[in-house]
Structure formats: C-alpha cells, structure tokens
Amino acid sequence: MTDQGYLTDLNDWSREVATNIAEEEEISLTEEHWPVLEYLQNQHKQEIPLTIRKVGKSGIVDIKGFYALFPGGPLKKASRIAGIPKPASCI
C-alpha cells in the first residue's frame, strides 16, 4: 500500500478489502457502489486515464450520482476503494 493508502497491486483487492478501505473513507458500500468500482478497475486494466467526465459518460453513474456515492472527492476515493492507483487527472 502507498503512503496515501492506495493498493499497489490490484490482485490484493477483494470486496472485503474494499469494504475496509471504504470504512476509512466513511463510506458504507451498497449495491450501487460495486458497478462503479468495477468500471474503474476495468478502465485501469485497459490503461485508460480516468476523468470525472468519462465516469459521467460511462452509462453506469452520472456525475451527480458519482459525487453522491463517494462524497468529498469522488474520483480519488473511488479509485482508492477500487484498489487502483491515485488518479493523476486534473479534470
């Protein structure tokens, strides 16, 4: 794990790990969170840089919904819970 709490290897990820990280972020995961986390993981596996705009166009969640699911910094928090690196995007 990095000093900012991001997993360094996605193979270490499980739903249990995600639930624990989410608790640290004060988020309790629901059925609505999982498809978003899976989407982020798939994008990461395809080496596609993540942006809020792309998440909004994913068809899985809109931007308002993304902010509601992961309040206080959605892309950063969701990436951390999904076990992928901290996003380097400014948008």
Partner 1 sequence: MKQKATKVETTKVKKMMLILSKATIDNVYACFILANGARMEGIEAEIFFTFFGLEAVQKKKIEHLHVATVGNPAMHIPTLLGGLPGMESFATNMMKKEMEKLDIPPVGEFIEILEASGAKLWACKLAMDMFHLKREDLVDEISDVITVGEFYTKAQGDNTHLMFI
| Contacting positions for partner 1 (CB under 8 A) | 49, 51-54, 56, 62-64, 67, 71-76, 89-91
Q: Which are the catalytic amino acids?
A: 90
Nearest 10 degrees: Cα torsion 47, 1, 88, 20: 90
Q: Which is nearer to partner 1, 4 or 11 (CB)?
A: 4
Nearest 10 degrees: Cα torsion 83, 85, 89, 91: 10
Position 80, amino acid:
R
Q: Which is nearer to partner 1, 11 or 88 (CB)?
A: 88
- Give the shortest CB-16-to-partner 1 separation in angstroms: 26
